[in-house]
């Protein structure tokens, strides 16, 4: 289990993340964000408890992404499969998410909403994950964003499988700061 907290003058965020069945309690005060995080938890198979409050929607959404990203990074097993890719249809929307959780942050979208596109970038940065979201079809922004969160969850579920091996031609990477 990983508990990560972020406190600023603008927001207060607490994230508890653990392997599980995709259950949890999400309370951010932003109903659509709560809905997306619930989908993320369910499809990733990670139990997720999030409590957050903030001054502006932008600050809250960004800081939840940063805090969840950090919690995710700290929970990746050493022998993770590392890569995952899933495509999710949702009515008119068809969205693919492809990830590499090997420690190199990069995000490529976009999503049709700047706040949730920024959520993906912020999550990617703190999770130290490469995330590509490709919107293949769709016009309903809600469906596109929800399909993206579901596809991301599924892709991360695949990437988190503990293979017991180091999935890199470089072997185990060690970084030390003195």
| Segment 98-146, tens digit of pLDDT | 999 999 999 999 999 999 999 999 999 999 999 999 999 999 999 999 9
Is 93 in contact with 143 (CB distance < 8 Å)?
yes
The answer to the question of residue 137 being in a domain is: yes
pLDDT recorded at residue 172: 63
The answer to the question of residue 175 being in a domain is: no
pLDDT recorded at residue 165: 82
Cα–Cα dist 43/14, whole Å: 21
Is 103 in contact with 69 (CB distance < 8 Å)?
no
Strands 46-54 and 11-19: antiparallel
* Widest distance between CA atoms in the chain: 52
The answer to the question of residue 19 being in a domain is: yes
pLDDT recorded at residue 142: 98
Cα–Cα dist 93/96, whole Å: 10
| Segment 14-51, tens digit of pLDDT | 999 999 999 999 999 999 999 999 999 999 999 999 99
The total number of structural domains that make up the chain: 1
Is 86 in contact with 151 (CB distance < 8 Å)?
yes
The answer to the question of residue 77 being in a domain is: yes
The answer to the question of residue 172 being in a domain is: no
Domain CATH for 62: 3.30.230.40
pTM: 0.93
Question: In percent, how much of the chain has pLDDT > 90?
Answer: 89
Alpha-carbon distances, residue 92 vs 23, 113, 140 (angstroms): 27, 17, 7
What range does the domain containing 19 cover?
2-159
| Segment 76-95, tens digit of pLDDT | 999 999 999 999 999 999 99
Angle at 171 between CA 169 and CA 172, to 5 degrees: 145
């Amino acid at each position: 289990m990983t508990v990560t907290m972020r406190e600023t003058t603008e927001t207060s965020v607490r994230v508890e993340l653990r392997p599980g069945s995709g259950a949890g309690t999400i309370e951010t005060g932003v109903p659509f964000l709560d809905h997306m995080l619930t989908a993320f938890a369910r499809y990733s198979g990670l139990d997720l408890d999030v409590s957050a409050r903030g001054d502006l929607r932008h600050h809250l959404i960004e800081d939840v992404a940063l805090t969840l990203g950090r919690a995710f990074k700290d929970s990746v097993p050493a022998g993770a499969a590392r890569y995952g890719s899933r495509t999710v249809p949702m009515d008119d929307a068809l969205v693919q998410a492809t990830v590499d959780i090997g420690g190199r942050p990069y995000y490529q979208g976009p999503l049709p909403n700047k706040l949730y596109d920024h959520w993906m970038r912020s999550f990617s940065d703190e999770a130290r994950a490469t995330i590509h979201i490709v919107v293949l079809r769709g016009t309903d922004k809600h469906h596109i964003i929800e399909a993206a969160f579901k596809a991301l969850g599924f892709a991360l579920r695949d990437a988190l499988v503990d293979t017991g091996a180091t999935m890199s031609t470089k072997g185990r990477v060690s970084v030390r700061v003195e």
